Structure 1
Amino acid sequence: MYKLLVIEDDVMMSDMLSMYMSGEGYEIKQAENGEKGLQLVEQFVPDVLLLDLMLPDWDGIELCARIRENSSVPIMIVSTKSEVSERVQALRAGADDYLCKPFSMHELSARVEALIRRSRIMQASAAESIQPEGGIAAQKEIKLDAERRLLLVRGAFVETTFSEFEIMKLFLSHPGKVFSREDLINAIRGYDSFVTDRAIDVHIVNLRRKVEKNPKEPHHIRTVWGVGYKYAPEDVPAPQ
């Protein structure tokens, strides 16, 4: 049974989400404010988190960033705020998905399932990739730690969001291959979930900050103008 944490101050909405997802087979915990939510992230250790942006004690974006500092749990924002700027801020803060109220419970359930499914698949795939014989392990500077869903960058562990981890897994599995933004969207969301080209660009900016020696002149995560992005391993010369 997967565990789901709902951080939502609207009691009716929280109860509705909890009842529906409980009926789908999830173990549920509810938090009516950010402080209780932070406590439950540590104590309950959820497999996925639903987070409202408007809470009585925390700004939802700030709370998302705070949770992301210590946890790689997939975070889905559920909010009445539909502006693109809000979505971008949430993604930059570490959110993995964004669903605007009102929404279909069926869609919510499908998105939660997708987040957990991809999380498990990536963990299993990364476990294989870090074996001594694996191709990814041959990359000297950057490796994946499946158990903790972290990147090992030049000997130091770096925490990533759910989506960042999946993008890096894709890059490391196919060094040199050019991925369009649509390729990356399909890899981390599936065909029926909300995500934009802008969201991919935000993830790339954040990943460069985490893996590149000089994010302004990236060696590994390179832009292929007019197409998308590719990953260059250590033995590929830096662009001139």
Structure 2
Amino acid sequence: MDRILLIEDDDIIGEMICMYLKEEEFLVLRSHNGQEGLAALHDFKPDLILLDLILPDFEGTDLCNSLRSITPVPIIIISSNARVSEKIEAFTVGADDYLCKPFSMHEMKARIQALLRRFKQSHPPEVQQLPVQQAVTVPPMDLNINLEKRTLYVRGESVEMTFSEFELIRLLFEHPERVYRREDLINALRGFDSYINDRAIDVHITNLRRKIEINPKEPKYIKTVWGVGYKFVL
């Protein structure tokens, strides 16, 4: 049974979501504020987090950033704020999807199931032995990427990435020197980021450069092809 952590201070909305998900055979724990949510993360060990952006003790984006630094599980933002800038900020700090209130419970369930399915496919149980060839090292670059475990090491240091950031670096890495238009990258990520657009792609690229480049302003690996898009350089 999949475990859902709901961080929502509104009692009416919180109870509606809990009731619906329990009827759909999810195990649900509701936290009323950010502190409760952080504590529940360790004790409850959720498979997915539903996070309201407006909480009494935390800015939602700050909490999302904190949660992402602790856990790789999918995070769906639920908010009454439909501004594109708000959605982009949420994706930037680690959200995997964004639902605007009011939303359909059936749509919420579909998005939860889609994210859980992709997450489980990309995070096999630790007991499974991975074939050696799945760990790919790129000499002489200081990058080591494991496509099965979805891990990236830069100069020996583990790098934390959002689900969408890894999907982007995986796509670029698997096709070095290929120039991807922003439209190509949007289409590739649309199944993971519901509100992906040109600006969100640029934000993801900027974040990846900060994480893997020695000098993000003069990138060595993720190159801009002016007027077209981006490419990964070996």
TM-score by length of 1: 0.85
CA distance, structure 2, for counterparts of residue 7 and residue 191 of structure 1:
21
User: Contact 1:123 / 1:146 at 8 angstroms: preserved in 2?
Assistant: no
Q: Deviation at 1:149?
A: 4.3
Q: Secondary structure at the match of 2:137?
A: helix
Cα 1:197–1:208 change in 2 (3 A) is same
Q: Give the aligned partner of residue 113 of structure 1.
A: 113
Indicate how the Cα distance of structure 1 residues 191 and 33 shifts in structure 2: closer, same or farther if over 3 A, else same. Answer: closer
Offset, 1:82: 1.4
Report 1:1-240 matches (<5 A).
Answer: 1-123=1-123, 131-134=131-134, 136-138=136-138, 140-145=141-146, 149-190=150-191, 193-233=194-234
Q: Is the 8 A contact 1:76 1:97 kept in 2?
A: yes
- Which is further off, 145-154 or 157-166? 145-154
Q: What secondary structure sits across from 2:220 in the alignment?
A: coil
Query: Residues 209 and 222 of structure 2 are in contact (CA less than 8 Å); yes or no, is this contact kept in structure 1?
Result: yes
Give distance in 2, aligned partners of 1:111 and 1:186: 17
Cα 1:135–1:35 change in 2 (3 A) is closer
* Cα shift at 1:227: 2.6
Per-residue deviation, 1:120: 2.5
Gaps of 5+ in 1: 234-240
Unaligned runs of 5+ in 2: none
Percent identical among aligned pairs is 50
Task: Show CA shifts across 1:121-145 (max 9, x none).
Answer: 3335xxx9x8543583345522235
Write the distance in 2 (CA, Å) between the matches of 1:2 and 1:154: 36
Please give the root-mean-square deviation of Cα atoms over the aligned residues, in Å.
2.4
- The amino acid across from 1:104 in the alignment is S
Deviation readout 1:23-64 (Å, 9 max, x if unpaired): 333221111100000011122221211110111111111111
Aligned residues: 229
- CA distance in 1: counterparts of 2:223 and 2:145, whole angstroms: 19
- Work out whether residues 5 and 30 of structure 1, in 8 Å CA contact, stay in contact via their aligned partners in 2: yes
Aligned to 1:237: none
